[in-house]
Amino acid sequence: MSTKQDNNFQTIISHAKEYGFVFPSSEIYDGLSAVYDYGPYGSELKKNIRNYWWKSMTQLHDNIVGLDAAIFMHPTTWKASGHVDNFSDPMIDNKDSKKRYRVDHLIEGFAEKLESKGKKEEADALVEEMNQLLAKEDFAALKTLIETNKIGCEVSGTCNWTDIRQFNLMFSTEIGSVADATNTLYLRPETAQGIFVNFLNVQKSARMKVPFGIAQTGKAFRNEIVARQFIFRMREFEQMEMQFFVRPGTELDWFEKWKEERLAWHRSLGIAPEKERFLPHIKLAHYANAAVDIEFEFPFGFKELEGIHSRTDYDLRRHQEFSGKKMMYFDPEINQSYIPYVIETSIGLDRMFLAILSSAYEEQELKKEDGTSDSRTVLHISPKISPVKLAIFPLTKKDGLPEIGKELMEDCKTAFRCYYEEKDAIGKRYRRQDAIGTPFCVTIDHQTKEDNTVTVRHRDSMTQERIPMSEVKKMVLGAIL
C-alpha cells in the first residue's frame, strides 16, 4: 500500500470509529485481532445492506426463497464439502518475531513494494512464478523463492523462515461436556453448505421447480492470518449467499445472467462503474466450470468483493455420497431425474459495507459566499441504505417550533429512521448529518407556522428548497424505495 493509500484508508477507519460505525472488538482490553463491532450507525447501515440484498433476492424474484440455517452443522458436512481436507492456506512463520504470514500475502506484499519502486516487470514475474508454484503446491520451491528474493519479516526484518505448512482455516469447538474427537464441531466457514444440505427440504416444502434459488445471510468464521485490513478480512464475518439450482447443461447461461444481475445490484447502490471490474478465475477449482470475482477498488487497491461461481453438481453429489440420501430432483418438463447444477453468488456483508463506506467518503472544500472557505466530510450513501433517512431541525428551541418538529418526527418514524435535534447552529447540525450520510435535513422555522412549509436541504448538492411539510414523508419514501 502506498503512503497516500494508507493515509486515505486510515482516515476512513478513524471516521468509522468517531461516528459510531465500526469499533475494534472488546477495545477496553486492547481489541481482538480481525474482529470488529458495529456501532449505532454501523449496525443500521449493515442491516440496511443486508435487507436490501434480501429483498432484491427473495421479494423481487418469485423463484428464490430464503433460509436461515444454524451455524453448527453435522461434522460430516465439512468432510463432504472438502473443507476438512482442503480449506487451508500455505503459511510460513518468522523464527525471530514468531509472526505468521500467508505465503501469497507475503510475496504479494513484496511485489507491491517492487512495483512502487518502478520495477513492475520484476513484480509481475515474481507473482507469476508464485502462482505457478502455489498451483503445484511446491512449498520447498516457494520457500526458496522467498529466500532468494530476500523477503523479510515486517517485524524482525530477518529472513529466518520456517518451512511452509498448510494451515486449516476452520475454527473447531466441542459439543456437550466430554471432549473427544467425535464431538468436534466446526464453526461454519461459509453459509453455502446450510443451503446444500437443506436443498430437498426447501424444494419440497416451498414447492419449488428448477430453476430456483435459495438465499441466506449469516455469520461465517475463518481463522485468517491477517495484517491491517480492517473489516476487509475478518475472523468472524457475515456472508450473503444465493445458490441457484438449474438443469444440467444450462448452467453457463445462468452464470452469465447472474454476473450481469449482480453487477446491476452494485450499480443500484450508486457504486461507480470504474470502481468495479470482473476478474475471471484462470485456475478453476476442480468442481467449477466457470468462476468470476467482482473486484472493488478498495483504498488499498482492487480486491475481491463478491464471487460468482458455477459449481456444477459437486456439492449436492458429495452430500448424496456422504449421507446416503438422494439429492435428485424430478423434472416434470423433461420427465427426468437429475442432481441440479448450481450457480452461486457469494458476497461478504462486511466487505460490501467497506466498499460502500469507501466509495461514499468525501472531504470537500467549500467556497462560501463571503469568499472565505470551509470544508465538510460527507458520506454519499444511497438513501436506500443510509443509516438515517431524515433529520428534523427546529430553527430555535422556542416559539412552538420544537412541537412542530416532534409532530413531523412522530408521523415519519414508523416509516423510516429519523433523527431529531434542537442543539447548535443549523450549519453544525448539517455537518454532523453529512458525516453519517443522512440524505435529507428539514428545518422548521417561523414561516412554517404561517404556511406549513419547511426547508429541505439535500446532502449531496447542499441545495435547499421550500416544500409543504405534508410532502416530506412522500419525498423521503420516494427516495428510499
Least spacing, CB of residue 293 vs ligand ATP, in Å: 7
Nearer to ligand ATP, 309 or 389 (CB): 309
Q: Using CB under 6 A, which residues numbered 56 to 115 contact ligand ATP?
A: none
95 contacts 83 by C-beta, under 8 angstroms: no
Nearer to ligand ATP, 56 or 346 (CB): 346
Interface residue with ligand ATP among 346, 358, 359, 382 (CB under 6 A) is 346
Crossing angle of the two packed helices 139-148 and 120-136, in degrees rounded to 10:
160
Nearer to ligand ATP, 81 or 346 (CB): 346
Nearer to ligand ATP, 262 or 429 (CB): 262
Nearer to ligand ATP, 262 or 459 (CB): 262
45 contacts 22 by C-beta, under 8 angstroms: no
Using the contact rule CB under 6 A, the part of the chain among 4-12, 146-154, 174-182, 347-355 near ligand ATP is 347-355
53 contacts 347 by C-beta, under 8 angstroms: yes
Secondary structure percentages of the chain, helix, strand, coil, to 5: 40, 25, 35
Interface residue with ligand ATP among 46, 102, 222, 457 (CB under 6 A) is 222
Least spacing, CB of residue 235 vs ligand ATP, in Å: 7
Identify the burial level of 335 via C-beta atoms within 10 angstroms of its C-beta, where 0-12 means exposed, 13-18 middle and 19 or more buried: exposed
For residue 233, what is the DSSP state?
S
Using the contact rule CB under 6 A, the part of the chain among 178-186, 305-313, 435-443, 455-463 near ligand ATP is 305-313
**CA–CA gap between residue 458 and residue 480 (Å, rounded):** 14
Nearer to ligand ATP, 24 or 307 (CB): 307
Query: Pattern 225-264, binding to ligand ATP, x per CB under 6 A?
Result: --------xx--x-x-------------------------
Q: Does 305 engage in binding with ligand ATP (CB under 6 A)?
A: yes
- Which residues fall within 8 angstroms of residue 460, CB to CB, at 6 or more apart? 378, 380, 439
**Binding residues with ligand ATP: total (CB under 6 A):** 16
Task: Pick the closest to residue 123 from 149, 94, 93, 158 (CA basis).
Answer: 149
> Half-sphere exposure of residue 371, counting CA atoms within 13 Å on the CB side?
0
Nearer to ligand ATP, 225 or 418 (CB): 225
Q: Does 203 engage in binding with ligand ATP (CB under 6 A)?
A: no
The radius of gyration computed from the CA coordinates of the chain, to the nearest angstrom, equals 26
- Which residues fall within 8 angstroms of residue 268, CB to CB, at 6 or more apart? 56, 382, 384
**CA–CA gap between residue 253 and residue 442 (Å, rounded):** 48
Q: Does 42 engage in binding with ligand ATP (CB under 6 A)?
A: no
Interface residue with ligand ATP among 143, 318, 351, 459 (CB under 6 A) is 351
Interface residue with ligand ATP among 129, 261, 295, 304 (CB under 6 A) is 304
Using the contact rule CB under 6 A, the part of the chain among 122-130, 346-354, 369-377, 381-389 near ligand ATP is 346-354
Nearer to ligand ATP, 222 or 389 (CB): 222
- φ and ψ at 457, to 5 degrees? -115, 125
Nearer to ligand ATP, 216 or 239 (CB): 239
Residue showing cell 454519499:
380
The footprint of ligand ATP (CB under 6 A) covers 190, 222, 224, 233-234, 237, 239, 304-307, 346-348, 350-351
